[in-house]
Amino acid sequence: MTNSNTAAPETPSSEPRPASNFLREQIAEDAATRKFGDAVIQTRFPPEPNGYLHIGHAKAICIDFGLADDFGGKTNLRFDDTNPEKEEQEYVDSIQRDVHWLGFDWERLCYASDYFGQLYEWALKLIRDGKAYVDDLSAEEIRQHRGTLTEPGRNSPYRDRPVEENLDLFQRMRAGEFPDGSRVLRAKIDMSSPNLNMRDPVMYRILHATHHRTGDDWCIYPMYDYAHGQSDSIENVTHSMCSLEFADHQPLYRWFIENLGIFPSQQIEFDRLSITYTLLSKRKLLQLVQEGRVSGWDDPRMPTLSGLRRRGFTPEAIRAFVAQAGVSRTNGIVDIEMLEHFQRDDLNHRALRAMAVLRPLKVVITNYPEGQTEHMEVANNPEDLEAGTRQVPFSREIYIEQDDFREVPPPKYYRLSPGKEVRLRNAYFITAQTVVKDSEGNVVEVHCTYDPASRGGNSPDGRKVKSTIHWVSTAHALTAEVRLYEKLFAKPDPNDCAEGGSFLDNLNPNSLEIISDAKLEPSLASAQPGAPFQFERVGYFTADIHSTEGALVFNRTLPLKDTWAKIEKKTGS
RNA sequence: UGGGCGAUCGUCUAAUGGUAGGACAGUGCCCUUUGGAGGCACUUGUCUAGGUUCGAAUCCUAGUCGCCCAGCCA
């Protein structure tokens, strides 16, 4: 594919694709019957640049780009930028960045605003053909004339204006002679249609607004319904995939296409992606940003692609998730656990391992020589030996996780406790001997002895330990800020709120926990944002985009699955 | 109450008149220098009622339930 200014990763061909779905079958059939003759399969991804892309868009992107690619076709990225009041260049830029990051590259970069001239000419034609008219009714009056779901609408008193008058008025609308909202251009179809979209829909409204691309060239802007089908047609889009709610609009798109005599694209609708504990509404995500409930569109708790990226999610995992979630015409809600599964699966294979202690507890190995440092050779990724090894310093004083020591161990607790022996990952067996407490009785230090013969983590006498814990040498430790993220919403359905409440009531107050003094092994000093790490036994992390060598900040992508937490919960200990 | 669309394990999805399968989640066991990962096993499903058929998730009829549409948003 061509026309990109940034490199996009190849889509791995080994990625599983759904065995079948109704979209693929329809395209396969159309290809087999040569419905579109010699034309290649052409699709498009048509976002409105009024916000950042989220994981729901990822599904649409995978469908639009993936399906075309499967059939040797092409995909355009087209901005449906027909409403200058909500659209911005920032969004245009972020969308291109995110589509590339997801792993796709477009054939052509298009804008509905490129077609404003053509659309205007076509409107003139419809007026001349007696199929469109200028209406002087106010928005409120138009609404009243529209009727209801069960009652037909009424014709506007301006519906039968002579063609010449319509032409004159519409040209003067375009020339800027009338104020916003004073008139609209409407299609003359059928005010009694049971499909409300056919009750003389508005084609153009007057909007004296500066457009992010066309500036002040226009003061009338086409409605989405008047622009979308024709934009597809202009681009020779063969298969126009969109979400379910647009099914009712198909008859209108066909009406425009037929009355204009232009190329008819095939529209096929599919279900939007919904995920538990997740909001996928651009309007509401914008509200979270504007009200400062999150730090921005790329807050790592956001379901935006930029937020997921900053959090450490990967395009590969998102694509695999979308493929497994599938596509249909039902309104389902996918468990967020499925997304998390595909992310863990991806990271498990590629994340470099490191040792990091989030909540440090000092351990002194009393029989280890003072001032001595050893360098342990450690595998960077036990799942991938080609990832090599690194040296990790070990010394007499180390940090371990507070959770990894209990003065009074509950049942089935295999970690360190007085008199018990555990393995320090890649180092030695140690046995806890005594504890040091502060004035409040908290254990602040554990004194242990080690078995010098167990270097590397095995005892020559074949002695077994029940547990392996991670550690960081105090003298060599890096201090870092670590941000632990939880779900942004506390309820599976964020919109499930009391009467008069809002989704904001369901915000999870514990969605972000900041740990300011985590202790990291030295190799993490130069971690780059986006590079995935598994902090062994803890979770997957990546350096934040604002992390520096002098002020390290790591974001937790996901915690590792925690069997012990389950046992602990079950036994109530 | 008009129109459109839909209904398969707890969740998502396959089966295109011929053994209801996969993934996630869950449970148990095995394995493990990450209580991670991995392996094995198990559990649970065709909205209802009729009909057509040797045979129905699939076709027909009638219901039930759910989603979408009354922006000069997309």
d(CA A7, CA A101): 9
List, by residue number, the catalytic residues of A: 48, 272, 282
Given a cut of 90, is residue A17 above it in pLDDT?
no
A291: helix, strand or coil = coil
By C-alpha to C1' distance, B7 is nearest to A330
Nucleotide nearest to A47 (CA to C1'): B74
Tell me the per-residue pLDDT of A109-160, one tens digit each, with 9 for 90 and over: 999 999 999 999 999 999 999 999 999 999 999 999 999 999 999 999 999 9
Looking at every residue in chain A, the average pLDDT score rounds to 95
Tell me the pTM: 0.95
| pLDDT the model gives residue A367 | 98
Q: Assign A456 a pLDDT band (cuts: 50, 70, 90).
A: very high
| pLDDT the model gives residue A19 | 54
Cβ(A147)–Cβ(A154) below 8 Å = yes
Give all domains of chain A, ordered by start, each with its CATH number.
Answer: 22-114+226-340 (3.40.50.620), 117-223 (3.90.800.10), 356-477 (2.40.240.10), 479-573 (2.40.240.10)
Distance A224 CA to B45 C1' (A): 41
What are the Cα distances from residue A236, in Å, to A39, A40, A74, A223? 8, 9, 11, 20
Distance A18 CA to B62 C1' (A): 36
A398: helix, strand or coil = strand
| pLDDT the model gives residue A498 | 86
By C-alpha to C1' distance, B37 is nearest to A348
Tell me the per-residue pLDDT of A224-268, one tens digit each, with 9 for 90 and over: 999 999 999 999 999 999 999 999 999 999 999 999 999 999 999
ipTM beyond cut 0.85: yes
What are the Cα distances from residue A265, in Å, to A43, A254, A258, A261, A310? 10, 9, 11, 12, 37
Distance A61 CA to B35 C1' (A): 39
Q: Assign A444 a pLDDT band (cuts: 50, 70, 90).
A: very high
Nucleotide nearest to A206 (CA to C1'): B72
Given a cut of 90, is residue A6 above it in pLDDT?
no
H or E element, residue A517: strand A512-520
- Non-local CB neighbours of A92 within 8 Å, separated by 6+ positions: A49, A79, A81, A212
pLDDT > 90 fraction of chain A, expressed in percent and rounded:
94
Nucleotide nearest to A197 (CA to C1'): B69
By C-alpha to C1' distance, B67 is nearest to A331
Cβ(A454)–Cβ(A443) below 8 Å = no
CA-wise closest residue to A132 among A169, A95, A107, A96 = A169
Tell me the per-residue pLDDT of A152-199, one tens digit each, with 9 for 90 and over: 999 999 999 999 999 999 999 999 999 999 999 999 999 999 999 999
Given a cut of 50, is residue A62 above it in pLDDT?
yes
Distance A318 CA to B64 C1' (A): 37
Given a cut of 80, is residue A478 above it in pLDDT?
yes
Nucleotide nearest to A383 (CA to C1'): B37
Distance A23 CA to B14 C1' (A): 14
| pLDDT the model gives residue A1 | 34
By C-alpha to C1' distance, B4 is nearest to A248
Tell me, what amino acid is at A347? L
Q: Which nucleotides of strand B lie within 7 A of protein CB?
A: 1-8, 10-16, 22-25, 27, 33-38, 66-74
Given a cut of 60, is residue A3 above it in pLDDT?
no
Tell me the per-residue pLDDT of A295-306, one tens digit each, with 9 for 90 and over: 999 999 999 999
